[in-house]
Amino acid sequence: MSRVEEVLSRIENGNTIDTIARELDMNKSTLLAMVEFLVDDGYLERVEMRCSCSTRDLCEQCRGTDTGSEMVVYALTPKGAGMVERLKL
């Protein structure tokens, strides 16, 4: 399995960028560059996060105190999900 495939699979499973970088022994900046490439190439998309308390951005109460306000969530697009599904065959 290639690194790209491993990253897509781990994002599908809900892992964070920090966790993926640690588990794959990758520099976080390298992983973020790969993720941005996957976004640009249509395998991932950024998911807009909204507060459950109805404010515009994620407040500390809704995101938790251990996550910064710059939190970004990624999800597989149909193209990315198709790649991960082919790996399972």
> pLDDT digit string (tens) for 2-37?
999 999 999 999 898 999 999 999 999 999 999 999
> By mean pLDDT, which of 12-16, 17-21, 63-67, 70-74 is the weakest?
63-67
Type and span of the H or E element at 86:
helix 78-88
Number of domains comprising the chain: 1
Q: Give phi and psi for 47, each to the nearest 5.
A: -105, 125
Burial (CB count <10 Å: 0-12, 13-18, 19+), residue 44: buried
CATH number of residue 36's parent domain: 1.10.10.10
* Closest to 44 in 3D by CA, of 11, 22, 10, 85: 11
Domain span at 54: 3-88
Distance of CA 80 to the CA centre of its chain: 12
